[in-house]
């Protein structure tokens, strides 16, 4: 049976929410999933819609969400087992005042020292289907420094040099993880500041596989 995926995008436009959402919507459709794209957080209030989806992809950097909208999403994940997948600030720098949402995600962006820089992503789990066969690779983008949940299952990391913030020299930071939240399962990758970041094949493939994994289709 084909899985139903809801992508809700908007918020701060600097992360190319429409462009990245349509990119991955196309990749998921190629894999046989059914896609619904929405530009309103009120989608989380639609009981019929939320009762029909298997996975939600939030692409909504910063902004705000009402308690009712948040509950519509989190209750579906926690109680019904709707899964969630996403990338960069569209998922882990959304709704900064909503700590329960952050609890679901498993992390929150706090800094990107040096802004756009060269850095390396180290794939630390070669057994997981999301990262199997993917070698370490380089990015020229924001290197996300995050507050992360120690219960996350980390699949890839990056190490900070200290060139832009000397006190974090040598800090190893999760980049890709999975986790549980209630009955739902969560996928997250911090890669993907702008649409061009997904020209890096490894960055695009990790998110493609991660979304398929979260949709129980990998």
As beta bridge partners, residue 177 has 154, 188
Share of the chain above pLDDT 70, in %: 100
| pLDDT at residue 1 tops 80 | no
User: What pLDDT digit, counting tens, does each position of 132-171 carry?
Assistant: 999 999 999 999 999 999 999 999 999 999 999 999 999 9
Neighbours of 200 (CB within 10 A): 18
Please give the pLDDT value at position 2: 86
How far apart CA 214 and CA 84 sit, in angstroms, is 6
| pLDDT at residue 8 tops 80 | yes
How far apart CA 41 and CA 65 sit, in angstroms, is 7
User: What pLDDT digit, counting tens, does each position of 66-79 carry?
Assistant: 999 999 999 999 99
Classify the C-alpha dihedral 125-131-135-137 as positive or negative: negative
Nearest to 7 by CA among 42, 44, 35: 35
Mean pLDDT of 169-196: 98
Share of the chain above pLDDT 90, in %: 99
Burial 29-45 (b: 16+ CB within 10 A, else e): eebebebebbbebebbe
pTM above threshold 0.95? yes
C-beta of residue 44 within 8 angstroms of C-beta of residue 51: no
Q: Please, where are the H alpha helices in the chain?
A: 17-30, 47-50, 67-80, 88-92, 99-105, 201-214
Please give the pLDDT value at position 122: 98
Mean pLDDT of 8-36: 98
What structural domains and CATH numbers belong to the chain? 4-214 (3.40.50.880)
Mean pLDDT of 187-192: 98
Both tokens assigned to 23: 């990119």
Neighbours of 140 (CB within 10 A): 13
Mean pLDDT of 42-54: 97
Task: Give the chain's mean pLDDT.
Answer: 98
Contacts of 151 (CB under 8 A, 6+ apart): 106, 179, 180
């Amino acid at each position: 049976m084909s899985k139903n995926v809801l992508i809700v995008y908007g918020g701060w436009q600097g992360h190319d929410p429409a462009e990245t959402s349509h990119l991955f919507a196309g990749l998921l459709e190629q894999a046989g999933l059914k896609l619904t794209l929405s530009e309103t957080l009120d989608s989380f209030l639609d009981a019929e819609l939320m009762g029909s989806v298997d996975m939600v992809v939030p692409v909504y950097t910063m902004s705000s969400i009402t308690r009712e909208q948040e509950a519509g999403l989190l209750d579906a994940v926690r109680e019904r087992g709707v899964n969630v997948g996403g990338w960069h600030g569209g998922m882990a720098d959304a709704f900064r005042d909503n700590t329960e949402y952050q609890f679901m995600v498993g992390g929150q962006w706090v800094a990107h020292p040096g802004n756009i820089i060269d850095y390396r992503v180290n794939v630390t789990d070669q057994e997981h289907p999301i990262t199997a066969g993917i070698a370490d690779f380089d990015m020229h983008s924001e290197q996300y420094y995050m507050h992360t949940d120690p219960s996350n299952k980390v699949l890839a990391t990056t190490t900070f040099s200290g060139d832009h913030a000397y006190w974090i020299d040598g800090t190893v930071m999760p980049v890709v993880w999975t986790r549980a939240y209630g009955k739902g399962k969560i996928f997250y990758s911090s890669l993907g500041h702008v649409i061009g970041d997904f020209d890096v094949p490894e960055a695009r493939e990790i998110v493609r596989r991660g979304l398929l994994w979260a949709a129980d289709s990998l």
